[in-house]
Chains A and B, each alone.
Chain A
Amino acid sequence: MSMPTPMPQPERENYLNKEYGVWSWLLTTDHKRIALLYLLSITFFFFIGGFFALLIRLELLTPAGDLVQADTYNKLFTMHGMVMVFFFLIPSIPAVLGNFLVPMMIGAKDLAFPRVNLLSWYLYIIGGVMMLHCMLTGGVDTGWTFYAPFATNFTNTKIVEAGLAIFVAGFSSILTGLNFVVTIHRMRAPGMTWSRLPLFIWAHYATSIIQLLGTPVIAVTIVLVAAERALHLGIFDPKLGGDPLLFQHLFWFYSHPAVYIMILPAMGVVTEIIACFSRKRIFGYSFVAFSSIAIAVFGFLVWAHHMFVAGMSVYAALVFSLLSYAVAVPSAIKVFNWTATLYKGSIHYDAPMLYAFGFLGLFTIGGLTGLFLAALGIDVHVTDTYFVVAHFHYIMVGGAVMGYLGGMHFWWPKISGRLYPEGWARLAALIVFIGFNLTFFPQFILGYMGMPRRYYDYSHMPEFQVLNVLSTAGATVLGVGYLLPMIYFLWSMRYGKPASDNPWNAAGLEWKTASPPPTFNFDEEPVVTWEAYNYEELDAPHSEEVPVGR
């Protein structure tokens, strides 16, 4: 799609140039500035988590445990998981793109509670600093799952400190969810009915439900682990009448839906991109909207499929296996509706769309292999193998990160007021796709052949080396693919061509304001008189821009 370059004009006042200085950022209550604060913070943690991943992949390059020893390796995969899950993936799309876009997409000046929004960032930073301190002073070796009794009775690593860091960061997530729910309910512009909301908003609404209702459970669970270690209460200790599996029930009650905190917003992003770059209204709008809510609710019914071989009741396992299949239904509804939207669409292969295509393929593979794991028989075979590792990376990296990068490219002109270099962006999307598959597809085969996860030394299974070398090579390619966007986004902030208000000719209120937007988003309150995704209308010959103001 061509990106028209506007004539140079005097710089308008916007959220970026209205005020300058460190304090204008650190004390801001502007949702867009807070989104950028989150962007910087999560990028920092992404590279820390990525550094741990790099060390893990280097260790597995050879069968022998030659780069690090077992204890260090245990800490590497633990810290990689904790940082990536709690400090990158969970806040990624909601706290950056959601923060920036939710008020604009519904025609509001800001979120309902701007100060609470800033507080959520500070809580994230406090949690992050605690996690950094924990890492620098020894780290944790339990895996990101903190399983009892190892975490409660045996390990001497920094469990309590890491738990506290996640506890604090969890409140940041709760506050973001709370802000979104209230904003979406109470602050929609006149005419912005529920059935006219962009599906990005429906996805964030569903995500917020999970953040609000699920996160307190992990907070309580972490407190119980700390209390168990300090006071020996016996909640998870069978000798004192407790049950170690209770920890897994509580942990996965949040941590399985947490995957949907990562993937639902990515689905929202992809929906916007597919509609724009196929120039069509989303097929089955209501089904896509309600499938987001269904995923949020069904996501809470499936947690014990993580525990099939942990010693839980076989009857309960049957129940959870059946329920796990149920969550595939709304996910499939989305994939089929996106595909139907593409059908006979006027498809443009710009960088955001390449990421959306990547998302479609990788999420589908990740989702379908999830069904393998929901089946009791296969799960017994592949539990704790690289098959599981590959599966959840296809969802959490192939799905969520592809969605995040697609969204960053799609809305970058709005965020920065500058265009990124399209050629480089397409190349980066291709490199990410190839690098990702090269890294993680071999892991499906490794897992199915029996390579266990969390082993630093596989010298008794040297036949696994070829696939591990492929995987490590892929990780290097993937790393280049992730560095490229960071470089050209930074470059474009200074040297990129100025973006017009609506460089993609996209539907949605955020495109009807300036790029970058003014502090309160709109010069006058928008009144919505059109349906979402009115691309046929926008593309109609001689069509006039739909008026925004009264």
Chain B
Amino acid sequence: MSEHSKSSPLPTYFAVFFALLVGTALTVYAATLDLGKYNAAVALTIASVKATLVALFFMHVKGASEKLTKLVVIAALFFLLLLLGLTMTDYATRLWS
């Protein structure tokens, strides 16, 4: 562990792990429900929450004092938004027949 980032207490890691398991169970349960056009939105929301938990706690982004760590996280989110946003220029305007 880097001296620049603070580690969380062990119970926190177990709590996060438990939350991730709950998230997985929720995803599986949501897949059995027909939510219409919200199917993807619900699955993606759960996945995003899980990814955030992993980044914040298991990857030690929470409490990181390094500017470089923050830069990497922000850059990664920016590029993810580019991927999703520019792909949507196609899906939102394509003629579906």
* Mutual binders A and B: yes
Bound form: Cα–Cα A315–B86 in Å: 11
Chain B interface, DSSP helix/strand/loop, else mixed: helix
CB distance from A216 to the nearest CB of B (A): 9
Q: Are B89 and A182 in contact (CB under 8 A)?
A: no
The answer to whether A167 has its CB under 8 Å from any CB of chain B is no
Bound form: Cα–Cα A282–B76 in Å: 32
Q: Are B79 and A300 in contact (CB under 8 A)?
A: yes
CB distance from B90 to the nearest CB of A (A): 4
Please tell me which one of the listed residues B76, B79, B82, B89 contacts residue A319 in the complex, with CB atoms under 8 A apart. B89
Bound form: Cα–Cα A413–B72 in Å: 36
| 4 nearest CB pairs, A to B | A313-B94, A316-B90, A315-B93, A313-B93
Q: Are B82 and A301 in contact (CB under 8 A)?
A: yes
Residues in B with CB closer than 8 Å to A182 are: 68
**B interface footprint on A204-232 (CB within 8 Å = 1, 0 otherwise):** 00000100111001000000000000000
The answer to whether B83 has its CB under 8 Å from any CB of chain A is yes
The answer to whether A484 has its CB under 8 Å from any CB of chain B is no
Q: Are B90 and A313 in contact (CB under 8 A)?
A: yes
Q: Are B87 and A300 in contact (CB under 8 A)?
A: no
Q: Are A313 and B82 in contact (CB under 8 A)?
A: no
Bound form: Cα–Cα A314–B95 in Å: 9
The answer to whether A249 has its CB under 8 Å from any CB of chain B is yes
Residues in B with CB closer than 8 Å to A320 are: 86, 89
CB distance from B72 to the nearest CB of A (A): 8
Residues in B with CB closer than 8 Å to A213 are: 75-76, 79
**B interface footprint on A274-316 (CB within 8 Å = 1, 0 otherwise):** 0000000000000000000000000011011000000011111
Interface residues in B, total, Cβ within 8 A: 16
The answer to whether A357 has its CB under 8 Å from any CB of chain B is no
Q: Are A185 and B68 in contact (CB under 8 A)?
A: yes
Of all chain B residues, which has the CB nearest A253?
B83
Residues in A with CB closer than 8 Å to B95 are: 313
Given contacts A182-B68, A249-B87, whether A316 and B82 have CB atoms under 8 Å apart is no
Residues in A with CB closer than 8 Å to B91 are: 243, 313
The answer to whether A245 has its CB under 8 Å from any CB of chain B is yes
**A interface footprint on B50-83 (CB within 8 Å = 1, 0 otherwise):** 0000000000000000001000100110010011
Residues in B with CB closer than 8 Å to A212 are: 72
Please tell me which one of the listed residues A209, A214, A301, A312 contacts residue B90 in the complex, with CB atoms under 8 A apart. A312
Of all chain B residues, which has the CB nearest A310?
B90
Residues in A with CB closer than 8 Å to B92 are: 313
Please tell me which one of the listed residues B72, B86, B90 contacts residue A245 in the complex, with CB atoms under 8 A apart. B90
